C-alpha cells in the first residue's frame, strides 16, 4: 500500500469478486446479444479491462472521453465530448462502463446524448457510487459498491492523474489532497 493512503476501503480481492458477479449478471441479461461496452475515459479503463473478461458473450468495446467545464475538481454538470465513439450505436445494446457516479451530472448528460442516437437499449454499469453527493437521479442497473463521501483513489480513480494503478480502492491522507473534492 502506498504511504499516501490513509486506509484501504475496498481491497483488490473484493473488487475482483464483485467484478465477476457483475460480469455474470451482464452475461445472463444480454444472452443472445452482442453488447457494446462503452468505457468512459479515463477512470473506467481498469474496470472495463476486468469486466469485459468476466462477460462470457461476444461483445465489443468503444471509448468516450468527456470533460466537465468548471473550476476545481468538482463536477460542474457542463460536459464536453473530447473523444466520441467510433461505433454507430443505432440499434445496438449499449452498456456504459464507469468507475464512479458522484453527482450524476456526467451520466445524466451522457445518457441523454446517447439515447438521441437511438440504441436498442442503454444501461449503466458503475463500480462505485457516492449517493450522498447525488444531484440528479441516475438509474445504475449494475452497481459494485457504495462509498462514503471521501476522496477515493485506485483501480482507475485518480488524484491529479496519479494512483489509477493501485489494485485496491482507498482513501488518501488529507495532507496529500489538501482539501480537494472528488471528480
Residues that bind ligand PRP (CB under 6 A): 40-43, 68, 75, 98-106, 158, 183
Which stretch of DSSP H or E encloses residue 2? none
- Smallest gap from Cβ 84 to ligand PRP, in A, equals 15
- Smallest gap from Cβ 75 to ligand PRP, in A, equals 3
14 given a catalytic annotation: no
> Which CB sits closer to ligand PRP, 59 or 100?
100
Backbone angles phi, psi at 21, to 5 degrees: -60, -45
* Number of residues that this document lists for the chain: 183
Cell of 133: 453527493
Residues 142 and 160: beta-carbon distance below 8 Å: no
Tell me the DSSP string of 147-174: --SS-EEBTTB-BTTB-TT-SSEEEE-H
Query: Which residue has the closest beta carbon to ligand PRP?
Result: 43
> Which CB sits closer to ligand PRP, 103 or 111?
103
- Smallest gap from Cβ 32 to ligand PRP, in A, equals 30
> Which CB sits closer to ligand PRP, 59 or 128?
128
Backbone angles phi, psi at 36, to 5 degrees: -105, 115
Q: 50, 65, 84, 102: which is the annotated catalytic residue?
A: 102
Distance CA(129)–CA(40), nearest Å, equals: 15
- Smallest gap from Cβ 20 to ligand PRP, in A, equals 22
> Which CB sits closer to ligand PRP, 106 or 111?
106
Catalytic residue positions, numbered: 102
Amino acid at each position: 500500500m502506498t504511504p499516501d493512503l490513509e486506509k484501504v476501503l475496498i481491497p483488490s480481492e473484493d473488487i475482483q469478486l464483485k467484478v465477476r458477479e457483475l460480469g455474470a449478471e451482464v452475461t445472463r441479461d444480454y444472452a443472445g446479444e452482442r453488447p457494446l461496452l462503452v468505457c468512459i475515459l479515463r477512470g473506467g479503463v481498469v474496470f472495463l479491462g476486468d469486466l469485459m473478461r468476466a462477460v462470457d458473450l461476444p461483445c465489443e468495446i468503444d471509448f468516450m472521453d468527456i470533460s466537465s467545464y468548471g473550476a476545481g475538481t468538482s463536477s460542474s454538470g457542463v460536459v464536453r465530448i473530447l473523444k466520441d465513439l467510433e461505433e454507430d450505436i443505432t440499434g445496438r445494446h449499449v452498456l456504459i462502463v464507469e468507475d464512479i457516479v458522484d453527482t450524476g451530472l456526467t451520466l445524466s448528460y451522457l445518457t441523454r446524448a446517447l439515447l438521441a442516437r437511438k440504441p436498442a437499449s442503454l444501461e449503466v454499469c458503475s463500480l462505485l457510487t457516492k449517493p450522498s453527493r447525488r444531484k440528479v437521479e441516475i438509474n445504475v442497473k449494475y452497481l459494485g459498491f457504495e462509498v462514503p463521501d471521501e476522496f477515493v483513489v485506485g483501480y482507475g480513480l485518480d488524484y491529479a492523474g496519479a494512483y489509477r494503478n493501485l489494485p485496491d480502492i482507498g482513501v488518501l491522507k488529507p495532507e496529500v489532497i489538501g482539501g480537494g473534492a472528488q471528480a
